[in-house]
Chains A and B, each alone.
Chain A
Amino acid sequence: DAGVIQSPRHEVTEMGQEVTLRCKPISGHDYLFWYRQTMMRGLELLIYFNNNVPIDDSGMPEDRFSAKMPNASFSTLKIQPSEPRDSAVYFCASSPAKLGGRETQYFGPGTRLLVL
């Protein structure tokens, strides 16, 4: 099992550019989550999907952020236009279908984004 795969691992871009982060969840997992980690706010949930459908995007900071899950094996998080305050580590996680509401989430290695 390859685990959750994220790409790129590192991204450096200039303010105003579009950034696309990619995630491949663990095969068979029904849930996919996007988190962001910053020094100030720690790890915070941005959005999550269940069976490819966005369920809760209340954590998405602004309209500049969007996420899609076109199929069960792929998701993207897009920032357009990017700003320096978007610099953070972005994690994707997946989990199996909920049994009694308690399932472990498995995290990818993260994408370290730096916006200059």
Chain B
Amino acid sequence: DQQVKQNSPSLSVQEGRISILNCDYTNSMFDYFLWYKKYPAEGPTFLISISSIKDKNEDGRFTVFLNKSAKHLSLHIVPSQPGDSAVYFCAASDSGGGADGLTFGKGTHLIIQP
């Protein structure tokens, strides 16, 4: 049973427009959420995170929104650039439960069209 779900395997967006990647989770104990970006033949790299005490975190072109009641988070990229084309993974952790590993979604392949 997947505890972190990214229901869109791929997403195509025009350069300059907004990219919105979605993630849902089922485990109510998760209190820390991260987005990782992955290029082919490389490891995932950290992009942005959000604690459950917040509902928004912004870093340059990247903003993550958290809706705890809906157990939903989203990553907004604006404006989208060609270098943003990559696979984006949503991840979650239960930092207070002693479990330190991350639970990942299966990823969304973002394609930025010129």
Where the two chains meet, the residues of A that have a C-beta atom closer than 8 Å to any C-beta of B are 4, 31, 33, 35, 42-45, 48, 50, 55-56, 59, 91, 93, 95, 98, 100-102, 104-110
Please tell me which one of the listed residues B41, B95, B100, B105 contacts residue A48 in the complex, with CB atoms under 8 A apart: B100
6 contacts between A and B (CB under 8 A): A50-B100, A91-B43, A102-B32, A104-B49, A107-B36, A110-B42
A interface: dominant SS: strand
What is the count of residue pairs linking A and B with beta-carbon distances less than 8 angstroms?
A: 61
Number of B residues contacting the other chain (C-beta, 8 Å)? 24
Say whether A98 contacts B95, CB under 8 Å: yes
Judge whether B100 and A43 touch: CB under 8 Å. Answer: no
Flag if A106 contacts B46 (CB, 8 Å). Answer: yes
Residues of A within 8 A of B100 (CB): 31, 33, 48, 50, 55-56, 95, 98
Given the known inter-chain contacts A105-B46, A109-B41, please indicate yes or no for A42 contacting B105, CB distance below 8 A. Answer: yes
B96 CB–A CB distance under 8 Å:
yes
With beta carbons under 8 angstroms apart, the residue of B96, B102, B106, B107 that contacts A105 is B102
